[in-house]
Amino acid sequence: MDIFDTFLNAEVMRRTFPMLLQGLWITLQLGAASIVAGLVLGLGLSMLRLYGPAPVRFLTRVYIDIFRSIPLLVLLIIVYYALPFVGLRLSPFVSAMTALTLVSGAYTAEIFRAGIEAIPKGQFEASAALGLSGRQTMADVILPQAVKIVIPPLTNNSINVVKDTALASVVAMPDLLKQATQAQALAANPTPLIVAAAIYVAFLWPLVALVSRMERRFAARRR
Amino acid sequence: MSGFVSIRNLRKSYGQFEALKGIDLDVAKGEVVCIIGPSGSGKSTLIRCINRLESFSQGSEIRVDGIPVITGRALAKVRAEVGMVFQSFNLFPHLTVRENVMLAPRRVRGTSRAEAAAQADRLLARVGIASQADKYPEHLSGGQQQRVAIARALAMEPQVMLFDEPTSALDPEMVGEVLDVMRDLARTGVTMIVVTHEMGFASQVADRVIFMDGGQIVEQGPPSQVLSNPQETRTRNFLGAVLNH
């Protein structure tokens, strides 16, 4: 038996490709929705973490630490299989998005915090001296500068979120990986798995390369 | 009668260290006051208290135009009336020179974009850098950056201007251009409180010179008296150290 017939069978590829495309579409939707929701959550958390009253700051830190420690798969299974016991039954998509967002938000909050703390104190003082409010200082002075610093780590985090969407296949989400395993079962041939892997790489490699380039450029400008 | 800026019993501590030990100071409208003294004497802390970039101890009181400088809603109002120029410029690096000057009028006063831009160009012309308006701060020399910072503070049409060692971070050849702008400003009747090491500037421009040491005002009076004929030993020692080298 030829290795090509086993892993890169053209006939199987042709037959199962539409299934994989459906899965890819769901993976992309889940990834995009979780990234955006995670950014919003993370920005909010970072503000509370930095400028909230002391008890809120403490609770925010606890949240961030917990959700950075918990394995995503464990969280996902709790959301999908445990919450129904308290009457909260979420669809596979919403379960996966919830788990991804909760974790991504925790990481994003730390990224934003680091970015904001990297802005010199003089920028806050100059804003205050001009009479800008705290909110205006953030929106007009601090965040526009912090965003430049946090784009590479945020992109990294987004790559991780897209990769982690594959975990949703364990809660019966018909994402790219799930579709690939099903196609494999139908065709009795592992080619769909290889194709799925290639699709993941094709989408994420350019982003990985982009992050490296941004980081190099950033390092060059710092010098 | 208390001054336009009135400071009563101003105290400030960092832990055990008392940075300001009960300062009383009145500055009249239009007056130019230069504060001199050795580093660690509390002079920067003093002017940073006036717009409350530094908090100060209870029992202390600062008023600007009658408004008490306390945290809360009134503080933004006071800060809008008090311009500040920092040693390290603190321009906004992501905004062009013109946008630096426009930001506060647009956001705090709600000035229209066109009006704020026109005002920014007038102010930039006044400090002699109209041609640099579209550049970013990093492309300007230190002296030019500090002049932009002065224009940015003036854009809020402040009643009082605070200068915290405005020439200390500059290369020597750029000190003059910044002092010239400040001299012009003093002539137009702006109330100015200047922490400085430039004795020449103090003697020519100040209405009053204040010598601080150890968190206290040691001596004050017209420059001819404080700088040329100091009464206190500490003032004499400081001036001797500064001028004879």
Per run of 10 residues, the mean pLDDT along chain B (length 245 residues) is 87 92 95 95 95 91 92 85 96 97 96 97 96 96 97 95 96 94 93 95 96 96 94 93 77
Of B85, B83, B89, the closest CA to residue B136 belongs to: B89
Distance from CA of A220 to the nearest CA of B (A): 16
Dihedral sign from CA coordinates of A145, A151, A153, A154: positive
Q: What predicted TM-score, i.e. pTM, was given to this entire model?
A: 0.87
Residues in chain B: 245
Give the single-character DSSP code of B168: T
B51 touches chain A (CB under 8 A): yes
Q: Phi, psi (5° rounding) for residue B129? A: -135, 35
Q: Which token pair is B239?
A: 């001036």
| pLDDT for A216 | 85
| pLDDT for B220 | 96
pLDDT level of residue A221 (50, 70, 90 thresholds)? low
Say which of A128, A140, A148 has its CB closest to residue B79. Answer: A128
**Alpha carbon of residue A74 to chain centroid:** 16
Evaluate if residue A223 carries a pLDDT over 50.
no
Evaluate if residue A150 carries a pLDDT over 60.
yes
Say which of B53, B80, B92 has its CB closest to residue A131. Answer: B80
* d(C-alpha B152, C-alpha A201), whole Å: 50
> Alpha helix (H) ranges present in A165-190?
176-187
Write down the residue that tokens 């500040």 correspond to.
Answer: B84
Of B68, B62, B29, B106, the closest CA to residue A131 belongs to: B106
Q: What dihedral angle (degrees, nearest 10) is formed by the CA atoms of B98, B104, B106, B109? A: -140
Write down the residue that tokens 């410029």 correspond to.
Answer: B89
> For the residues A76-95, what does the mean pLDDT come to?
93
B169 touches chain A (CB under 8 A): no
Mean pLDDT of chain A: 93
Distance from CA of A77 to the nearest CA of B (A): 44
Give the single-character DSSP code of B215: T
B33 within 8 A of B27, measured Cβ to Cβ: yes
Evaluate if residue A195 carries a pLDDT over 50.
yes
Say which of A120, A125, A130 has its CB closest to residue B108. Answer: A130
Choose the mutation target among A121, A127, A130 for the interface with B, i.e. most B CBs under 10 Å. A130
Chain B residues touching A129 at Cβ < 8 A: 51, 53, 79, 82-84, 86, 153
| pLDDT for B73 | 80
Chain A contacts to B (CB-CB under 8 A): 120, 122-123, 125-126, 128-133, 136, 140-141, 144-145, 148
Give, rounded to a whole angstrom, the gap between the first and last alpha carbons of chain A: 57
Say which of A129, A131, A145 has its CB closest to residue B93. Answer: A145
- List the single residue in B with minimal CA-CA distance to A145: B94
Say which of A126, A131, A140 has its CB closest to residue B86. Answer: A126
The pLDDT > 70 percentage for chain A reads 98
Residues 6 or more apart from A20 whose CB is under 8 A from it? A176, A179, A180, A183, A192, A195, A196, A199
* d(C-alpha B63, C-alpha B69), whole Å: 6
Angle at A79 between CA A77 and CA A83, to 5 degrees: 115
* d(C-alpha B130, C-alpha B120), whole Å: 9
State pLDDT tens for residues A164-173. Answer: 999 999 888 8
The pLDDT > 90 percentage for chain A reads 81
- Please state the ipTM of this predicted complex: 0.94
